[in-house]
Amino acid sequence: MNFELKPLGLVGVSSEKCDALIVLVPHTFKGAKDDLSVLITQAIKSTDLETKPGKMLALYRPMQANAARVVLAGVGDGSARQVRTALLAAVASVKSPAFKKLLVCFAAPAREEAIRAAVLAVADATYAYTHTKSKPEARILQKVVLTATNATEVQASFDRAVAVVAGVELAKEWANRPANHATPVALAQAAEKLAQLPKISCEVLGPKEVAKLGMGSFLAVAQGSEQPLRFVVLRYSGAAKSQAPTVLVGKGITFDSGGISIKPAAEMDEMKFDMSGAASVLGVFRSLSLLKPAINVVGLIPACENLLSGRAVKPGDVVTSMSGQTIEILNTDAEGRLVLCDALTYAERFKPAAVIDIATLTGACMVALGAVRSGLFSTQEALGSALFAAGEASQDLCWRLPLDEDYAEGLKSGFADVANVAGRAGGAITAAKFLQRFAEKFPWAHLDIAGTAWKSGAGKGATGRPVGLLVEYLLERTGTQ
């Protein structure tokens, strides 16, 4: 799907040939004397059109436009959130087998954040998963043209949004694939394919290399599966070697049965999404390859399956992490933190400016924040504030949770340096406190995306979050607007 931005208002749009035209109408709309403006003004006056977000008036081949379908869609105050709400509904209403070219027109000058929201909403509304279908129904839409009278002013925001879409859709693709089509080896191959793009390189470590590094915690999780683990090291080199990189660590559990502490059968199929953190790292690198910012970024992906077998790690086992700290594994379903802790130790060698790990880590975070905001933890105020701001700007929202030392009390063990779980209370926080022990040598943040990485129910599928948040954060570090 190709995106284009044109400097057109309602007069120019009316003559553009397309399969569908969506006109975004804010409550401040003031029409001119052209035919399309008059139509909108009359529709509002007659109350056939409301400018509340999600309210629409659908027309078929009206004389005022050269489009098979026209939808006048209210966008309220024109904010990013309201533009997204309007477009998700409007695009759904115009889908058809002939839906190949779409025009989206801002009836008033567009804000930068609204342009980004429009691009992402159209992509989200038309996304189609096809990889494992024998008769796939691929995305029909081929061309999307956004128009605004102030197109020149918002071009940079548009370009950023198009790059984010590429990253989000790569993340969706890999998170959506079932575990037998997204093994640790396959995930590593996807990373190696990214290394064909400019400024990106990739190194993949196998079980022998990981064992030599002393990653006993990571190895313990992987030992129950016949699928060999992979440890992926991606590098985006956009700045001088002397510039400290930002390191992204993505949890890559390609299927999580819970191990010996096995999960309930209901909805266990959704545990293919447990590598969504890793998928988001792949997505960020795809976006970086298009935007080419002057920054250095490292991506680390510890990838394995968490299965139960005669070789699987057992509750009560004690393992030695790469840091030298010993861990009593009280619950084998708390495996994400066991692979991440070794990756965090590995990150030290890059002398990073900051390390951010991304993981579908705890059901407790889903209980706390639902599917709206990802959980954010950070040991550095500036880093936490920057990530929160990036979430607000990108509409890929997060919420900061505490890291009080009292929460670590439950992780004490009589048989090792630390236990891998505490009690049920504050589970998202105690998981973060476990990771914090391995992140003391650099500014660190943790994003718990257990509630935001995928949707359940009829619309089951990956969301591609938090690619938008991470790209926004990285670009702001370069001063890119």
Quick check: is 337 catalytic? Answer: yes
Which residues contact residue 130 at a Cβ distance below 8 angstroms, ignoring those fewer than 6 apart?
A: 136, 137, 138
Q: Is the dihedral angle over the CA atoms 348, 353, 359, 365 positive or is it negative?
A: positive
d(CA 129, CA 461) in angstroms, rounded, equals 9
> How many alpha carbons fall within 13 Å on the CB side of residue 299?
36
The answer to whether the beta carbons of residues 5 and 153 sit under 8 Å apart is: no
Whole-number CA gyration radius for the chain: 24
d(CA 273, CA 228) in angstroms, rounded, equals 19
Which residues contact residue 23 at a Cβ distance below 8 angstroms, ignoring those fewer than 6 apart?
A: 10, 13, 36, 40, 70, 71, 72, 73, 105, 107
Quick check: is 212 catalytic? Answer: no
d(CA 351, CA 343) in angstroms, rounded, equals 14
d(CA 356, CA 374) in angstroms, rounded, equals 13
Specify the residue for token string 């086992």.
317
Closest by Cα among 182, 179, 157 to 170: 182
Strands (E), 361-420: 374-378, 398-400, 418-419
Strands (E), 261-321: 296-306, 317-320
Query: Beta strand pairing status for 230-237 and 296-306?
Result: antiparallel
The answer to whether the beta carbons of residues 451 and 362 sit under 8 Å apart is: no
CA 144, chain centre distance (Å): 22
**Active-site position among 263, 400, 441, 455:** 263
| Per-residue tokens: 41 | 């003004």
Instruction: Count the residues in the chain.
Output: 481
**Active-site position among 160, 286, 337, 465:** 337
Q: How far is CA 400 from CA 247, 249, 274, 361, in A?
A: 20, 19, 22, 15
Catalytic residues: 263, 337
